[in-house]
Amino acid sequence: MFKRRTFALGGAALSGALLLSGCANPMSQRSDNEDRVERKLLEHRLHVDVGEPEVMELPQRRVRITERKRFEVTEFEVTRRYDRYTPYQPWRELYEMPLGAVAVVAGVGANVANLIALGNLPDSVTHGWLEYGIAGLNPFMNVQSNGRAQQNLAGISEVRKDQREESINLPWSERPVEVKAGKANHELSTDQNGVLRLNLLDSPFAEQNLDKVGTLHVQVSDEDSGVRGDASLLVGSGLRGKLREAHELIFDDLEDDDVGQWVYRVKRLSELGLEEEASELEQSLVELTRNDPELQSELVRALAKQTGRLVADPGAQ
């Protein structure tokens, strides 16, 4: 008596465990395709272009700095395959088993009708109803459901589609540049186009005696990759002889001078071959006298008479 009760309890427990665990219903495998691009750096250089001519005869120079990279680019087609299944939920058997019985009967009837119709009925009617009915009658498996489907990654495969080389040139935009002038090191910066604007009449070079500095060394480095680039720019002896006088002509106090001295400064810069600096000083003087139309008119006339320079008359606008 005791053994029979034990067996009965054990059978009930086993049935309950099977009912709760059940089996997942496998579904058709799904795959996803995507493209993947792999880039391998082959070369990384920093190029410093100091421009022409090689010898600097004017105080201003534009130095262009470019970062150059060359890559090996490989394109892959990646396929990921997923195993799909419907997880087992015991409570769904309460309605799946009755529906399964109906589906089996309907499936048998559909197959009989398919024989009469010479096999013209679709598989979704003949085989589909039977598959649904059998899964529904199975107490340890739910019917397939796309809405409840889950998936596991089954495998990944890659196929190489293309391989090529690509090169990119980027401006050394707003990055530090070191300029060595003699024993002094100056840290400057490029603009957004990767251009370093050197002006030996401006700071920090204006505070340094460049009489014996025949070469400027321009250096850049990328700390992340350790790549460096450099170039040298020669400073002509004629230019070095002009720098000190030109600096005094441009930057000495203007307000204590009269019109004659202003005109002399512009004329002397032009005689030194520093035409760009002469024009900049001329415009600064016109702006300085903007609030004194009489003085400004006198300046314009003096410039035209003594230097032949024609300045637009602000009063004519």
Identify the CATH number of the domain in which residue 185 sits.
2.60.40.1930
Residues of the chain below pLDDT 50: 1-21, 316-317
The neighbouring-strand residues paired with 37 are 75
- 45 within some domain: yes
- For residue 305, the enclosing domain spans 252-316
Question: Please, which residues have CB within 8 angstroms of residue 103's CB and are 6 or more apart in sequence?
Answer: 129, 130, 132, 133, 136
- 242 within some domain: no
Q: According to the model, what pLDDT value does residue 118 have?
A: 72
- 266 within some domain: yes
Same-domain status, 31 and 134? yes
The neighbouring-strand residues paired with 141 are 23
Which value, to the nearest 10 degrees, does the dihedral of the CA atoms of residues 288, 292, 296, 297 take? 170
Q: According to the model, what pLDDT value does residue 122 have?
A: 78
- 10 within some domain: no
Q: pLDDT of 81-107, one tens digit each?
A: 999 998 988 888 888 788 878 888 887
Q: According to the model, what pLDDT value does residue 192 have?
A: 95
* Overall residue count recorded for the chain in this entry: 317
Q: 3-state DSSP call for residue 12? A: helix
Same-domain status, 83 and 207? no
Burial class (CB in 10 A: 0-12, 13-18, 19+), 86: buried
Burial class (CB in 10 A: 0-12, 13-18, 19+), 48: buried
Same-domain status, 51 and 191? yes
Same-domain status, 27 and 145? yes
- 163 within some domain: no
- 290 within some domain: yes
Same-domain status, 189 and 214? yes
What is the number of structural domains in the chain?
3
Residue whose token pair is 């058997």: 93
Among 101, 119, 154, the domain boundary falls at 154
pTM of the full structure = 0.66
Q: What whole-number distance in Å separates Cα of residue 171 and Cα of residue 51? A: 15
Within the chain, residue ranges assigned H as helices are 2-21, 93-116, 123-137, 237-251, 259-271, 275-288, 293-307
Same-domain status, 105 and 202? no
The neighbouring-strand residues paired with 69 are 44, 168
Same-domain status, 145 and 279? no
- 247 within some domain: no
- 9 within some domain: no
